[in-house]
Amino acid sequence: MSLQVGDTVEDFTLPDETGTERRLTELLAGGPVVLFFYPAALTSGCTAEACHFRDLAGEFAAAGAQPVGVSGDTVEKQQEFAGRHTLGMPLLSDTDGAIRERFGVKRGFTLAPTKRVTFVIGQDRTVLEIVRSELRMNTHADRALAALRAAKG
């Protein structure tokens, strides 16, 4: 079962790239969260996608929102990814795949068990927008921003 626009996201906690436990409701306290699931840190597609989110950080801040990455990578790998590309956003480590499963973005094969899907989540934990694209890396941040701007009205 995958989440749909209008669904309420269950709260969860995952460690970020520093090993700090991050809770969804705490992340949402500052505004909407753009949760982007990606298959694997340090791969070319995921790097392009994460760097596009980074490059639009000012626009996300202006929209009152925060991008947060999630993959099945270890905390150490997320830390290397964040550091190498100065990403400046939380990268959550879902090593057991429980959150990936809950969001319905689990893929059958194990090399890249996470689908590339982005969820725009409002402060009340409602899904405002879902962006699905495996190949167009920039579409995730671009469409998330458009949804945030539309929601602000």
| Residues known to be catalytic | 46
CA distances from 61 to 31, 48, 81, 145 (A): 9, 20, 22, 10
Question: Tokens for 134?
Answer: 């495996």
| CB proximity list for 49: less than 8 A, separation 6 or greater | 36, 38, 116, 137, 138, 140, 141
Q: Is 115 helix (H, G, I), strand (E, B) or coil?
A: coil
Reference 85, options 17, 147, 15; nearest CA is: 17
The packing angle between helices 44-55 and 138-152, to 10°, is 30
